[in-house]
Each structure stands twice: as C-alpha cells, then as structure tokens.
Amino acid sequence: MNQVNYNMSKDINILLIDDSDVDNFINKAVISKEDNISQITTMTSGQDALNHLNEIVDNPDTYPDIIFLDIKMPGMNGFEFLDEYLKLPETIVNHCKIYILSSSIDSIDSERGKEYAIVKKHLTKPLAHHKIGDLLAED
C-alpha cells in the first residue's frame, strides 16, 4: 500500500479523532500554529469520523492528509475505527497518514498499532510534546 508523500508547500488537511473535547481543542491549537495547514476537522468518535469520510468520498480535495487517532474511546475504539477505515475506498485509505495519539503507554497498544500498515507511528499525548512540523514532513 503506497501512501502519499507530502510537499510542505501543499496545504494540509488534518482530522483529529478523540472523544475528549479538551484534547481536541488543545491539539487543534498546537496544529494551527504550523504553516500550510488549510483545515483541521475534529470528531469525538470513530463512528462520526467514518461517517465524515464516507460523506467526502467523492471529493478528494477534502480528504484529510493526516489523521491523529485516539485509541481509548467509548463506543468504537481506535482499533475498531482502523478496521472499518480499511474498508473505505483505496483512494482515501492510500491518501491519509495515520498517527495514533493516545495517553496509553501500554506496550500492547503500541504493538497492536504496528499491525496496521497504515499507522505511521504511535505518539503519546499531549501532541504539544512532538515536533508537528517534523511529523507533517515525514514520508
């Protein structure tokens, strides 16, 4: 599965999926300080995020380039989201880079995340502890 390499001169769309409104607010504030961010969408559940992705399936210009995904969420957790995400059309699946962003430091969660080829990395919260520009520039 090939994923897109991003040119930092391109505007980048971000999708944050986290059940915590506070975490979404903080992460959005951190990300919005970066150059070339055209849109930041927040969703508070994996199901809402899947519904959103299904709604934009015919509009590639609106696809998120990067998804930051919490794994510990009520209802549909992050791993269940990933299982359903993989059923989406390849045009979306191959377009997005996914980072797990979780407060979990459990090695089982980290290892399970590695089972998904679409997951670039497991990051621990808060997002402010990571160099966002470096993440955005990663292949």
CB 69 within 8 A of CB 17: yes
At 101-129, the pLDDT tens digits run 888 777 777 778 888 989 998 888 878 77
Cβ-based neighbours of 107, under 8 Å, separated by 6 or more: none
Compute how many other C-beta atoms are within 10 angstroms of the C-beta atom of residue 119: 19
pLDDT in tens, 28-50: 998 888 888 889 999 999 999 99
Does the domain made of 12-137 have the CATH classification 3.40.50.2300?
yes
pLDDT higher than 70, residue 134: yes
